[in-house]
Amino acid sequence: MNVCIIGTGYVGLVTGATLAELGNRVICVDNNQEKIALLNRGEVPIYEPGLNELIATSRQAGRITFTTSIAEGVKSSEVVFIAVSTPPKPDGSADLSAVAAVAREVAENLNGYKVVVDKSTVPVKTGEKVTETIERYSREGSEFDVVSNPEFLREGSAIYDTFHPDRIVIGCPSRRASDILVELYKPLDAPVIITDINSAEIIKHAANSFLATKISFANALARICEAAGANVEEVTRGVGLDNRVGAKFLNAGVGYGGSCFPKDVSAFVSISDELGYDFRLLKEVERINEEQIDFFFRKIKDTLWILEEKTVAILGLAFKPNTDDMRSAPSVKIIRKLLAEGAKVRAYDPKAMEKAREELPDIEYCRDPYQAAEGAEALVILTEWNEFKEMDLGRMKKLLHQPIVIDGRNIYDPERMAALGFTYCSVGR
Ligand SMILES: NC(=O)c1ccc[n+]([C@@H]2O[C@H](COP(=O)([O-])OP(=O)(O)OC[C@H]3O[C@@H](n4cnc5c(N)ncnc54)[C@H](O)[C@@H]3O)[C@@H](O)[C@H]2O)c1
Convert the pLDDT of each residue in 45-90 to its tens digit. 999 999 999 999 999 999 999 999 999 999 999 999 999 999 999 9
pTM here is 0.96
The region, left, alpha or beta by phi > 0 then psi within -120 to 50, assigned to residue 79 is beta
Looking at residue 95, its pLDDT comes to 98
Beta-bridge partner residues of 3: 26, 79
Q: Using CA atoms, how far apart are residues 337 and 401, in angstroms rounded to an integer?
A: 22
Looking at residue 337, its pLDDT comes to 98
Which ligand 1 atom sits closest to the C-alpha of 122?
41
Which domains does the chain show, CATH number per domain?
A: 2-195 (3.40.50.720), 196-429 (3.40.50.720)
Q: Using CA atoms, how far apart are residues 345 and 200, in angstroms rounded to an integer?
A: 44
- Mutation choice for ligand 1 from 119, 130, 155, 259, CB with most ligand atoms inside 8 A: 259
CB 109 within 8 A of CB 71: yes
CA of 84 to the centre of ligand 1 (A): 4
Which ligand 1 atom sits closest to the C-alpha of 120?
41
Q: Using CA atoms, how far apart are residues 313 and 369, in angstroms rounded to an integer?
A: 8
Looking at residue 51, its pLDDT comes to 98
Altogether, the residues listed in the chain come to a count of 429
Looking at residue 103, its pLDDT comes to 98
Question: Atom 32, ligand 1: which residue's CA is nearest?
Answer: 31
Amino acid at 344: K
Neighbours of 24 (CB within 10 A): 20
Mean pLDDT along residues 156-167 = 97
Give the pLDDT confidence of 312-323 residue by residue, as tens digits: 999 999 999 999
Kindly tell me if the per-residue pLDDT of 205 is higher than 90: yes
- Helix 280-304 to helix 330-340 angle, to the nearest 10 degrees? 40
How much of the chain is in helix, strand and coil states, percent to nearest 5?
A: 45, 15, 40
**CB distance 257 to ligand 1 below 6 Å:** no
Q: Using CA atoms, how far apart are residues 53 and 47, in angstroms rounded to an integer?
A: 12
Mean pLDDT of the chain: 97
Kindly tell me if the per-residue pLDDT of 189 is higher than 90: no
Residue 194 phi/psi, 5° resolution? -105, 125
- Helix 261-274 to helix 280-304 angle, to the nearest 10 degrees? 150
**CB distance 153 to ligand 1 below 6 Å:** yes
Mean pLDDT along residues 184-212 = 97
Whether residue 260 lies in the annotated active site: yes
Question: Atom 18, ligand 1: which residue's CA is nearest?
Answer: 9
Residue 424 phi/psi, 5° resolution? -120, 135
Percent with pLDDT over 90 in the chain: 99
Upper half-sphere CA count for residue 181 (Cβ side, 13 Å): 31
Percent with pLDDT over 70 in the chain: 100
Kindly tell me if the per-residue pLDDT of 166 is higher than 90: yes
Looking at residue 323, its pLDDT comes to 95
Which ligand 1 atom sits closest to the C-alpha of 32?
37
